[in-house]
Amino acid sequence: MLKEGTPAPDFTLPDQNGDPRSLADYRGQKVILYFYPKDMTSGCTKQACSFAELYPQFRERGAVVLGVSRDSVASHKQFEEKYGLPFPLLSDPELTVIQTYGAWQEKMNFGKKTMGVVRTTYLIDEDGLIVRAMSKVKAAENPGQMLGALAVDAAGNE
């Protein structure tokens, strides 16, 4: 996992429409960058829908939301359309960004150790620095936590 106070590594990945998105495209805005295991699963759907529900509040605070998983562009498109998600979903089937950001970890699955995406979320400031890093977050609680982190960051930086 990357440390708070360090620069967020830049990357370029395709979104649900196949358009390339780079972290650098969002310089000057706060970015909620969240890594999740799989489209259409219950926990990931709860997390995405909670981010969608709070999205106007994220935008009011000058933040964008970017979701990243191993799923394909086509899978992301279906996920976006089914749940009306208003933010980009980035496809990383090669695990390049997922590994760079420390979200690919050993985890227990039905009593067996496997490698997989651990739900991980970063708050990146306007200058590209990581101001909050959270691992093994709870899907339903994470969007609210990040909204709270934005409020704390705003209070601390004003």
Give catalytic residue positions: 44
What gap in Å lies between CA 147 and CA 150, rounded to an integer? 5
Cα dihedral 72→56→20→138 (10° resolution): -40
What DSSP state is assigned to residue 5?
Answer: T
Cα dihedral 105→144→62→12 (10° resolution): 20
What DSSP state is assigned to residue 156?
Answer: H
- What is the SS3 assignment for 76-87? HHHHHHHHCCCC
